[in-house]
Amino acid sequence: MSFGVRAVLATLSFVLLLDGLAFADQQKPNTVFILADDLGIGDVNCYGGDQCQIETPNIDTLASGGMKFTDAYVNASHCIPTRIAIMTGRYPWRFDKPQAGGKWGLLGPRFDVNTFTLGDMFRTANYKTGYIGKWHLGTVMTTKDGKVQNEKNVDYTKPIKVGPVQYGFDESFILPGSLDMFPYAYLRNNMWQGEVTAQKGWSAFNRVGPAEKDFEDHEVLETFYSQAESFLSQQKSDQPFFLFLALTAPHTPTSPGKNFQGKSKLGVYGDFVMEVDHAVQRVQAALKTQGLDKNTLVIFSSDHGPASYAGNILKATPGQLRKLKDKGHDADGPHRGYKFSVYEGGLRVPLIAHWPGVIKPGSQCNQIVGLCDLMASFAEVSGAKLDSDAGPDSISFANLLHHPDAQGKRGNLIMQSTGPFVVRDGNWKLCLCPGSGASGVYGNVPASADAWQTAMKQFDQPVKWTDLVQAPFVQLFDLSNDIHEDHNLAAKHPAQVAKMVALLRMQVTQGRSTPGKKLPSTHPNINARLPNFIRKQLQP
């Protein structure tokens, strides 16, 4: 080994040692994670710039006082699987079929209560844990007839049997599903609040179902902010805490609180985003009141990209978010696609970290990170120990908080739309489908069925299952010079496609993407959610 190589390795070892010492010497930080719902990367001013027509001063201040990640991803471009990955540090498709439940907010648990979660992890480090906001990970509710929960049989006078309490949270105040998904009622520590005796529905999809008699959609965010303040007011400097604050906005129904109605020049959609921005102000103010702001790591992000059916028309209207482009607002930023799609607009999200005295103000990190990495990152900064089978797809980015220009530990990431897989490997991105990977009902283009029809015609011969992992049935993009994903390079680079398909298959069969023993895992078909008419045409 040459002297130069030894010097480089010695320097690298010293830097890694300093990273470890920095966190070891640091007092355990309190941690607050704020997760918006359907917030586009272009909805935040510090990301969207001139193409963002919404004022987000509090999120921008968080970024200017901390670190902005530019290459951060969710693991799916829709709600539930993203939340599974965040909560477990595990790719969502690795889990078995979820427990039975009813529609919308009545769905059953998405994973077993014995699954190791963020709540469990922080508890091992002696943190007080709290969860406030949208849950959407399923519950087991007490029913009047002893059968699986549905719209008519839930006993709202009895506590639920499985909820945040069973997943590692000391305190919780939740809405079971999204803001447009019944039941419209809160649960505190698994106990229903108020009298669930009404039937209500809201704008957008108007899903009418069980509701607490006084529940109002435009009061939900303010209720969550007040609950967060209450939780923070109880915390002391002698015990660290973790708060997961999961917002219900700007997910439909677009229903800003009274104090935010008419506040944005963009219209009601902008009003709702401004109320999301207010979350940061409320949290920071509450921390300062308690004297906890100097030793609290605050992370802000979104569960995926914006919904194309949301906007200034309260009824869910396909493609209406594009109309805001006429007003100079690009909710998906410089990217392509929306919620449900394989494109960057559905998968790339804002991610901001703020930690006084640790993160350099105004810093920026351009390394690839996934929200599934929060578990390992939080474990490193809190001193929690992860067993080898905990968070098997979570890779810590804690070193980047000190050194944003350092080489990130994550080189690749597996994602999905509502079905088709997406593989990110360095600057390459492979989508295992033609088109948007979405039905197109709400405005993503090309619609899945149309794109598959076109690809079948281009292939112009009988198609076998084994053909579906090559052009023209896949899309390969070089994001280093094609951030809008306009140029499919799959036909020009078949070896790169094959390499990334092999990477996906290996991570599927290993049950993990981190080093360690092989783990049990479901083995999904990597060509997921094919249109039925395509399946019928495929050769064995």
**Residue 1 in this model has a pLDDT that exceeds 70:** no
Give the 3-state secondary structure of 157-194.
CCCCCECHHHHCCCEEEEECCCCCCCCECCEECCEECC
Indicate the pLDDT class of residue 10, thresholds 50, 70 and 90.
Answer: very low
pLDDT at 529: 81
| Architecture category of domain 414-537 in CATH | 2-Layer Sandwich (3.30)
Q: To the nearest 10°, report the CA torsion of 54, 84, 409, 387.
A: 150
Indicate the pLDDT class of residue 24, thresholds 50, 70 and 90.
Answer: low
Distance of CA 124 to the CA centre of its chain: 24
Return the CATH number of the domain spanning residue range 33-410: 3.40.720.10
Rounded to 10 deg, the angle between the 268-289 and 57-64 helix axes is: 50
pTM: 0.95
Average pLDDT, stretch 281-294? 97
Contact 299, 36 (CB under 8 A): no
Average pLDDT, stretch 347-364? 98
Quick one: which H or E segment has residue 421?
A: strand 421-425
Total residues found in the chain within this entry:
540
Domain extents in the chain: 33-410, 414-537
For residue range 384-393, list pLDDT tens digits in order: 999 999 999 9
255: β partners: none
Say whether 425 sits in a helix, a strand or coil: strand
Q: Is the peptide bond before 183 cis (omega within 30 degrees of 0)?
A: yes
pLDDT at 460: 86
pLDDT at 2: 45
Alpha helices by DSSP H, 77-189: 79-88, 118-124
